[in-house]
Amino acid sequence: MPDDNRCGVLFDVDGTLVDTTYLHTVSWWEALRQAEHQVAMARIHRAIGMGSDKLLDHLLGPERDRDGDGKLRDSHDARYAEYWERLTPLPGAVELLRACAARGLRVVLATSAAEHEVAALRAALAAADDVIDAVTSSADAGESKPAPDILVAALDQSGLTAERVVFVGDSVWDVAAAGKLDIPCIGLTCGGTGRAELAGAGAVAVYDDPAALLDGLGDSAIATLD
């Protein structure tokens, strides 16, 4: 049941708090190449942030034979798993989570990562684990971003409402998902998407990375939460 007296911040994780965007790009590139799909890394990078089903539609076309999708996902997952022990928080990520909690805000990881990846992401953010109120995974969403399902799940799990949260993400797909619930979205360019593109998609403000948002926290949309 929603707690109308609490506010919070929903955070995307991949590319927003943990430096994984290009690891996913390379892992998908290798998986696609092995299956004899020649897709430029630049195109793959721009699709990161979608769920794997929509990513493959975006890259290979919605009319393709989907029989090989499971093998493609497994291939990506196996390659990406090789990086798990080396995943690194982006600058200021842990400190930003702790600063939000210190303001009395609920801190929610609204990630659409697969369940088997979430543990590795949380391990990278272990120094802030005690201030994280809820964590989602792809299993919580019927449809992947840019659909808003994962944000709906994050709200449900944290007892928050769309009117009393801000979302922080790094992709246009994050901004689009937030917009469907009228949630203000702060964009970060550390996932590789440019300032103008995030702002053009509807981000209420754009910062370089979590450290930059932390430096400007007092003047950000997060500071308006009470």
pLDDT tens digits, 139-171: 999 898 899 999 999 999 999 999 999 999 999
Please give the Cα distance from 81 to 30 (Å, whole number): 13
Give the residue, 66 or 194, on which the prediction is more confident: 194
User: For 192-214, what is each residue's pLDDT tens digit?
Assistant: 999 999 999 999 999 999 999 99
Is the pLDDT at 80 greater than 90? The verdict is yes
Q: Is 118 helix (H, G, I), strand (E, B) or coil?
A: helix
Q: Is 170 helix (H, G, I), strand (E, B) or coil?
A: coil
CATH class name, domain 8-20+87-224: alpha beta
Q: Which residues are CB-neighbours of 130 under 8 A, at least 6 positions away?
A: none
Q: Which residues are CB-neighbours of 163 under 8 A, at least 6 positions away?
A: 182
16 phi, psi to nearest 5 deg: -105, -50
Please give the Cα distance from 222 to 79 (Å, whole number): 36
Domain boundaries, the chain: 8-20+87-224, 21-82
Please give the Cα distance from 145 to 74 (Å, whole number): 20
The conformation of residue 48, written as its DSSP 8-state character, comes to B
Q: Which residues are CB-neighbours of 218 under 8 A, at least 6 positions away?
A: none
Give catalytic residue positions: 12
Q: Which residues are CB-neighbours of 214 under 8 A, at least 6 positions away?
A: 92, 95, 96, 99
